[in-house]
Amino acid sequence: MNYNKKSIEDIEFNGKKVLTRCDFNVPQDEEGNITDDSRIRAALPTIEYMLSNQAAVILCSHLGRPKGEFNTKYSLAPVASRLSELLGKEVKLAKDVIGPDADTLTAALQPGEVMLLENVRFHKEEEKNDPEFAKKLASYADIYVNDAFGTAHRAHASTAGVADYLPAVGGYLIDKEISTMGSALQDPRRPFVAILGGAKVSDKIGVINNLLEKVDTLIVGGGMAYTFVRATGGTIGQSLCEEDKLDYAREMLEKAESKGVKFLLPTDTIAAEEFAADAKAVTVETNSIPDNLMGLDIGPETRKKFTDAVKTAGTVVWNGPMGVFEFEQFAEGTRAIARALAESNAISIIGGGDSAAAIKQLGFADKMTHISTGGGASLEFLEGLELPGIACLMDR
């Protein structure tokens, strides 16, 4: 994967129309009110830079899963009004994506003005990366800017297809993602520690394999740890386990050993009889969990072992919580890692999704070097896969 891509500062915007893909897929309540506008705020630096450089800015995004049909529930109208407030200038919303209203508004748009097309996923051609749909979108502009890292792992018309017809560069968000994560993977400050959690080994197969080529220490917690514990002959009670991944788990442990990578697994576990917030919690040894119990968080001894590794690290990449952090009594493992990272001098990179949610919920977000804006995209990035939304940008 080539991380050396042109950004908005490498291109001349004056008087040009710019089609800009953002990630405005924001959560809303039943009434359609935006409950968290952080994705909209994250796009502001890129939008403001282009406007101040006299670009006419045409924004586009998806929202939810309208399955290729117009559906007012997934309209970007609330985004347009919130964006107008944040920018302090009107953001006109087209009533369509590539229809008569979009034609009219894009044609009339002047330098220093900004508009938003309706939800690109109202057309099934978007997710199919249909060339005619991409060509029509591209026809509105002179330049394409991708600033939606959260969808960069998808080859859709608005995330990659339009780059076949326009010069393409990355916005500030994409630029920060690829420079921060790219340098961590290519030239990390050592020791390089990766922490993986979450429920399933199967979600992280490629990531584990790729990281074992690069890290000094790999820490595995969360539900996925029990598959590894079982693979080494431990008994794990009712804990999560992917039986079809036991051979793979053994293979990865052997690979770590052959490469001299420390592979840390939990040694004690907070377990309970049921998956519930008020379940009675007990601490047990991870490799001999009683038959009636399931592991729901890492225990105190494991917390110390994992956080000690973090304290001496130069770079830490973290993807996936250590336990069921949504339940207060099973959040301590995730909190301990977050606190250790907040207090360490390491470059700390949080890989989106649940880990980002946990960091924010526990109040440590401002202490991290970088929190990725994409869950699936950051996983594929850590896996070393080429992301279509980045591959399509011009090389520096």
Residues with a catalytic annotation lie at 39, 200, 353, 376
Identify the burial level of 233 via C-beta atoms within 10 angstroms of its C-beta, where 0-12 means exposed, 13-18 middle and 19 or more buried. exposed
- CA 247 → CA 84, 114, 200, 207, 225, distances in Å? 54, 54, 15, 17, 14
Let me know: does 55 contact 18? Beta carbons within 8 Å.
Answer: yes
Residue indicated by tokens 């998808």:
154
Separation of alpha carbons 145 and 8, rounded Å: 7
How many helices (H) and strands (E) would you count in the chain? 14, 17
Sequential DSSP letters for 370-388: EE-S-HHHHHHHHTTPPPH
Residue indicated by tokens 């890492």:
298
Give the CA-trace dihedral at 290, 223, 213, 302, to 10 degrees: -60
User: Cβ–Cβ contacts within 10 Å for residue 314, how many?
Assistant: 16
Separation of alpha carbons 322 and 297, rounded Å: 6
Sequential DSSP letters for 140-162: T-SEEEE--GGGTTS--TTTTGG
User: Cβ–Cβ contacts within 10 Å for residue 35, how many?
Assistant: 8
Coil, strand or helix at 267: coil
| Contacts with 288 (C-beta within 8 Å, 6 or more apart), sequence order | 234, 235
Let me know: does 15 contact 54? Beta carbons within 8 Å.
Answer: yes
Length of the chain: 396
Give the count of alpha carbons within 13 A of 71, CB side only: 15
